[in-house]
């Protein structure tokens, strides 16, 4: 009867509201229509004051989750899409095979599966999108994890501000009491409880006990929560039969918090034969409780928080002054707890539940009882496991400093050693702290979350991200969740910038007198640079890069490294700020970026080291560098770099004995090791091949027997190839590289009649590349048909255009046309076929044909697992001594990459760069202005120190009469 009365009242109230809005329609401006007066969701009437123009159809987009492989959720389920579609909204759904709810269900509900979501005014997701996928001036809603100025997500926030995006953060959608109204909380609790029961089964087994928990799997192993409940009930049935080992003792579970997280965990716990007791009863049941059941207790603030001065808990006073309180959890609760399920977040100045010192005391071994045997061992201590569902690193559980993952859900915390190891064995507490638990039960989580979010979707949807925030009539729940809008943090969240600044300031203070190095780029070469500089504990390195995964790996590997995720080119202001805070910058970015970086170093009077050529653009900065009083070192890698150093060492020694240089040739190449050169190109790439490809069509100039030889650009270089038989077993060839004659003056060898610097490759490389030149594939000119905004081309279609036949052509017809264009060269045709350039594979989007070929080759010709590269350098220097006799000096450098370590290229570029940087930091290099490694004070120490890193060269001489 009550239910019927309530339904009637709701119906009458809804009818009244409907009539009110119907009447109001006549008062609205012409062309303006109320789309929806109210909706009935989960038994609640939700009223929407949303309006839209007839001619404008608002579009919502559900974006694809692409940050984590386990993220199979969506913010809205098909039932929500259906209701939006019925209300007249267009709903786009980005395609995703990973999403747990099938696309056909969204289509059936009225959604449109579409990759391009740029027409949407509101884009919703669960987790953060990658920075490069953001669309300017849109409304976005997702969990941003930025409200605590989380360092890892600050680049995302910067990009949101730069692109003037309006960001709604679900975490800050709260009611008037501050309680979250949009969350996955319950399902985090459900999944977390399932996981920790599974983990306890593994942990008990490692300690010598088979328990019923062994039959419970991880949460994602179940199709839905009902299946998981049945598995827990089955385990509970065995417990009720007395099948839990007696030596394990009564099991006690403590749940912190009273919100949805805790309730979800308790819901799953209730599937066991359980009894809930008050916290003060925990001590008794942990000692003499019934082994045929498990015990639980729910912990609230008043159970463990007391004022330091008088031992009393005052809730009003605590809210005002949490720093005056301490927790007695470590004394009154933890010693009698088998498993802690933590669902509370920690805020600054509030007491923690457990500290490292608490853990050390709790893990003191229990004295063995008289009945304990090897086959029936007692547990080493009472507290066996912690499931930190809050995943709040460094929070209420102080020693939970790193989240676990669905892939690796458990780790052991050893309080004595203060270390965490990935295992369920050994000493310590079993820890589970997965930060995306609801993703393990994705369908139910999506429906639950969508139900909570849906009432607020419409008001977010009916505004453009570019509109001023002040003009929006948002409800308090939505308005207070806007973190950023129109290029600025909203007033409520301006504190985020202050938090960032204070954290950065604290980091710099912590460094004290440490030398600060800013490393730009995190590619292959960065490894040796970081490894070398990190040996000095007095050096702190900041690595700035767009490669987020590489940054995370580097940060884990090196304790004195700070990572900054950023695009150096796009974020000029941030780069300036970073440069200013460091003593030295090392740029491993492309050489075209170095002048841009150098200008920042000049402005802030900070030294710079690069491994690239001293280009004309860099030389133009000479006066500015000298005026700033800084050191800018270039050409500090392999080639250029070690080639200069080895040459100058030989030349300077010759001059010391009065000899003159009559010839100088130097060839260098980065190659796959012979056993890994198994492709038509005899070459592989460890980074973008575009520079390598373009080098084959560059011009070249060199001096031979007193005559200057000029090779024009466009591919003639490949006709100037010479066999190189100084290492006959390697079957090498070489061709000139750029302008060799310009080195006569800096080397001080104007007396030389031959001066040649060149590139080494395996025989056959140049012939194959010649085929690509013939076909027009090494063309750097803009090619509009390959832009991302145009329909994609296949390689077959592109090749038809290049050889002048109408697509689509039969494979054999195209092959014959290409063969003819290659002047009937079978080897060149084999390379074209091997790379799939006559097939239906799409051509990568690029600005030019050579850019597309480079991307294609990067995929087709990478170094595989266990494969290694090789560096070969050969210098030949002809000397004339005062006595008149001639001497040929031969300098050989051969370096192999390590199968599980650094590549040869990384070592030979990275170590010289790092050594030069260290010499600047230590005051060994004091010269100001543009510096290259051509003086003994620079090259001497570097050549000596690279030997210690396994970069060893040999020399020998041949005397001629």
Show which residues are catalytic: 639
Other Cβ atoms closer than 10 A to 364? 10
If we measure between CA atoms, which residue out of 480, 877, 951, 923 comes closest to residue 664? Answer: 877
Q: Phi and psi dihedrals of 235, rounded to 5?
A: -65, -40
DSSP H or E run through 197: helix 185-206
**Please, are residues 144 and 483 in contact by the beta-carbon 8 Å criterion?**
yes
Question: Phi and psi dihedrals of 421, rounded to 5?
Answer: -130, 145
Backbone angles phi, psi at 929, to 5 degrees: 100, -160
Q: Name the packing angle between helices 795-803 and 811-821 (round to 10°).
A: 50
Chain-centre distance for alpha carbon 865: 21
Q: Are 174 and 502 in contact (CB under 8 A)?
A: no
Helix (H) or strand (E) holding 386: strand 385-388
Is the Cβ–Cβ distance between 524 and 686 less than 8 Å? Answer: yes
Order of strands across the sheet with 584-587? 561-565, 539-545, 515-520, 584-587, 607-610, 631-633, 929-931
Are the CB atoms for 232 and 218 separated by under 8 Å?
no
Token reading at 516: 């600060």
Query: Contacts for 744-750 with beta carbons within 8 Å, 24 or more apart?
Result: 744/703, 746/932, 746/934, 747/647, 747/648, 747/651, 747/661, 747/664, 747/934, 748/651, 748/655, 749/651, 749/661, 749/664
Place of tokens 């066996």: 384
Nearest Cα residue to 38 out of 53, 56, 19, 57:
19
Give the contacts of 520 (CB within 8 A, at least 6 positions apart). 544, 545, 568, 585, 586, 587, 588, 589, 597
CA angle 13, 19, 20 (to 5 degrees): 90
CB burial class (10 A; 0-12, 13-18, 19+) of residue 441? Answer: buried
Residue 737 DSSP class: -
Residue 879 phi/psi, 5-degree rounding, is -120, 145
Distances (CA, A) of 693 to 588, 684, 772: 20, 12, 10
Q: Could you give the CA distance from residue 675 to residue 867 in angstroms, rounded to a whole number?
A: 9
Q: How far apart are the C-alpha atoms of 380 and 316, rounded to whole Å?
A: 41
- What is the DSSP secondary structure assignment for residue 176, as one 8-state letter? T
Closest to 398 in 3D by CA, of 452, 374, 362: 362
């Amino acid at each position: 009867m009550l239910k019927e009365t309530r339904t009637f009242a709701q119906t009458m109230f809804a009818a009244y509201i409907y009539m009110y809005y119907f009447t109001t329609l006549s008062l609205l401006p012409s062309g303006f229509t109320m789309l929806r007066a109210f909706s009935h969701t989960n038994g609640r009437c939700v009223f929407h004051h949303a309006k839209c123009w007839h001619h404008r159809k608002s579009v919502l987009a559900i974006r694809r989750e692409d940050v984590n492989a386990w993220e199979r959720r969506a913010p809205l389920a098909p039932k929500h899409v259906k209701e939006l579609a019925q209300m007249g909204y267009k709903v786009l759904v980005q395609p995703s095979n990973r999403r747990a709810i099938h696309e056909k269900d969204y289509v059936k509900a009225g959604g449109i599966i579409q990759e391009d979501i740029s027409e949407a005014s509101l884009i919703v997701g669960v987790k953060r999108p990658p920075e490069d996928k953001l669309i300017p001036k849109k409304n976005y809603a997702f969990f941003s994890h930025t409200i605590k100025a989380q360092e890892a997500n600050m680049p995302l926030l910067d990009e949101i501000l730069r692109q003037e995006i309006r960001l709604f953060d679900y975490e800050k959608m709260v009611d008037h009491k501050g309680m979250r109204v949009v969350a996955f909380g319950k399902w985090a609790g459900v999944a977390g409880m399932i996981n920790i029961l599974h983990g306890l089964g593994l942990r008990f087994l490692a300690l010598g006990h088979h328990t019923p928990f062994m039959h419970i799997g991880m949460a994602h192993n179940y199709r839905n929560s009902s299946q998981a409940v049945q598995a827990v009930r089955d385990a509970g049935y065995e417990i009720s039969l007395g099948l839990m080992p007696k030596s394990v003792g009564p099991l006690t579970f403590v749940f912190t918090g009273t919100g949805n997280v805790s309730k979800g965990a308790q819901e799953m716990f209730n599937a066991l034969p359980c009894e809930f007791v008050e916290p003060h009863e925990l001590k008794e049941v942990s000692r003499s409780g019934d082994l045929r059941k498990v015990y639980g207790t729910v912990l609230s603030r008043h159970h463990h928080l007391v004022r330091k001065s008088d031992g009393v808990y005052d809730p009003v006073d605590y809210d005002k002054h949490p720093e005056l309180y301490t927790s007695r959890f470590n004394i009154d609760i933890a010693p009698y707890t088998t498993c802690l399920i933590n669902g509370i977040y920690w805020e600054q100045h509030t007491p923690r539940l457990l500290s490292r010192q608490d853990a050390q005391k709790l893990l003191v071994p229990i004295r063995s009882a008289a009945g304990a045997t090897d086959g029936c061992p007692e547990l080493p201590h009472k507290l066996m496991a912690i499931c930190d569902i809050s995943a709040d690193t460094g929070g209420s559980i102080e020693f939970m400093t790193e989240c676990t993952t669905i892939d690796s859900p458990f780790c052991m915390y050893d309080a004595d050693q203060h270390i965490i190891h990935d295992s369920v064995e050994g000493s310590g507490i079993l820890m589970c702290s997965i930060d995306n638990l609801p993703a393990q039960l994705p369908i139910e989580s999506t429906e639950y979350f969508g139900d909570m979010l849906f009432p607020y979707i419409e008001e977010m949807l009916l505004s453009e991200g570019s509109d001023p925030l002040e003009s929006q009539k948002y409800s308090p729940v939505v308005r207070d969740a806007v973190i950023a809008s129109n290029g600025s943090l909203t007033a409520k969240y301006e504190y985020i910038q202050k938090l960032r600044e204070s954290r950065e300031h604290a980091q710099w203070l912590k460094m004290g007198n440490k030398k600060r190095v800013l490393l730009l780029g995190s590619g292959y070469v960065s490894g040796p640079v970081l490894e070398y500089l990190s040996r000095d504990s007095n050096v702190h390195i900041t690595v700035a890069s767009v490669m987020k995964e590489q940054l995370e790996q580097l940060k884990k590997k090196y304790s004195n490294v700070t990572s900054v995720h950023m695009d150096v080119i796009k974020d000029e202001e941030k780069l300036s700020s970073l440069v200013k805070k460091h003593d030295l910058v090392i740029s491993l970015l492309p050489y075209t970026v170095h002048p841009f970086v150098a200008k920042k170093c000049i402005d802030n009077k900070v030294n710079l080291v690069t491994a690239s050529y001293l280009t004309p653009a860099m030389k133009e900065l000479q006066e500015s560098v000298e005026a700033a009083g800084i050191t800018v070192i270039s050409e500090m890698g392999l080639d250029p770099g070690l080639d200069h150093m080895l040459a100058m060492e030989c030349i300077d020694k010759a001059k010391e004995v009065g000899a003159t240089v009559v010839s100088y040739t130097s060839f260098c190449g980065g190659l796959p090791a012979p056993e890994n050169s198994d492709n038509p190109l005899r070459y592989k790439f460890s980074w973008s091949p575009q520079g390598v490809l373009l080098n084959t069509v560059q011009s070249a100039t060199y001096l031979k027997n007193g005559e200057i030889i000029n090779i024009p650009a466009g591919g003639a270089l490949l006709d100037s190839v010479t066999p190189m038989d100084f290492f006959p077993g390697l079957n090498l060839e070489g061709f000139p590289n750029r302008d060799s004659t310009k080195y006569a003056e800096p080397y001080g060898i104007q007396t030389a009649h031959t001066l040649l610097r060149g590139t080494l490759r395996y025989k056959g490389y140049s012939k194959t590349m010649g085929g690509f030149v013939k076909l027009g594939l090494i063309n750097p000119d803009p090619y509009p048909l390959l832009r991302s905004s145009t329909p994609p081309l296949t390689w077959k279609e592109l090749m038809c255009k290049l050889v002048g036949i109408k697509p689509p052509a039969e494979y054999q017809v195209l092959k014959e046309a290409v063969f003819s264009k290659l002047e009937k060269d079978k080897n060149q045709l084999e390379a074209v076929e091997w790379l799939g350039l006559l097939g239906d594979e799409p051509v990568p989007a690029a600005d030019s044909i050579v850019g597309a070929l480079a991307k294609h080759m990067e995929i087709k010709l990478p170094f595989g697992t266990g494969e290694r590269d090789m560096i070969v350098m050969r210098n030949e220097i002809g000397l004339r001594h005062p006595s008149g006799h001639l001497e040929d000096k031969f300098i050989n450098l051969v370096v192999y990459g390590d199968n599980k370590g650094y590549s040869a290229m990384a070592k030979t570029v990275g170590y010289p760069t790092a050594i030069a940087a260290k010499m600047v930091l230590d005051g060994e290099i004091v010269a100001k202005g543009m510096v290259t490694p051509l003086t003994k004070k620079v090259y001497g120490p570097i050549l000596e120190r690279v030997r210690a890193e396994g970069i060893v060269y040999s020399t020998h001489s041949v005397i001629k009469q």
